[in-house]
Amino acid sequence: MQSLKCAARVLTFSRTHVMGVLNVTPDSFSDGGRYGSVELALSQARLMVEQGASLIDIGGESTRPGAAQVSVQQELDRVCPVIERVVSECDAVVSVDTSTPAVMVEAIGLGCGLVNDVRAFSREGAIEAVKDSDIAICVMHMQGDPSTMQRAPGYDDVVSDIRAYLKQRLSMLSASGIAKERVVLDPGFGFGKSLDHNLALLRNLDGLLELGCPLLAGLSRKSMIGQILDKEVDERLYGSVSAAAIAAMKGARIVRVHDVAQTVDALKIVDAVLGLGKA
């Protein structure tokens, strides 16, 4: 796939794109509480776009291991004012990071171009919330749920198992009327996976390309990097950039990151090596 329609915007994959993380939550593992007001969130979104982000991913519910659930109204109150401002004031595809159908509907109405669902549109009403729109959707693999996913996850073969799951979700979406051309796939680094699982997945990420959808990789500041480096969350910049570069070399065309400027620089090198252009 050479391009992805995200409502009024189109992403072309002649280069690797950076998705900037914008959590408007008090408890996200890396930046929780940092962007609690609309103005602070908007300022950060503007900065990430200036640094080269093509997408801004706005989330109102933490999905870190053990995270508490929030009510639908809490999530709406957190994300909707931010989405509205970022859509109107930033030159980027605005994504909403949610599994809640009501939030999907409101975000699409506010001009969101992509819905990023860690639960792969498995909640009742989620497929219906996005089906008749012209947005793109990101389908992620997760074993278990955020409250239990890191309790001894297991696979027969992590890459084959994830590929089979994503293929099944693509078939279900197609049967529901959602074309494959609208879909981005995320293997879900850190979501129900041990360090060995994550490393095997990164090493063999190109094995998911046969599914025929753009791949999104989110490794930024995650515990796998902390385990390898023995560093806390705020000391994982170089490890995160390295992981993003490897993912791009292995075929990911969107990388979801907290540190936009540094990752953009690294991906320019990767794209040059891969022979990708600047369009």
Q: What is the pLDDT of residues 50-75, one digit of tens each?
A: 999 999 999 998 877 666 678 999 99
pLDDT digits (tens, 9 = 90+) for 121-158: 999 999 999 999 999 999 999 986 766 656 667 799 99
CA 39 to chain centroid, in Å, comes to 23
Q: Quote the tokens at residue 7.
A: 């409502």
* Structure confidence at residue 85 (pLDDT): 97
Question: CB atoms < 10 A from the CB of 259, how many?
Answer: 21
Given 3-state DSSP classes, what are the helix, strand and coil percentages for the chain, each rounded to the nearest 5?
45, 15, 40
| Residues assigned a catalytic role | 222, 256
- Name the pairing type of β-strands 3-6 and 9-12: antiparallel
pLDDT digits (tens, 9 = 90+) for 221-273: 999 999 999 999 999 999 999 999 999 999 999 999 999 999 999 999 999 99
CATH number belonging to domain 3-274: 3.20.20.20
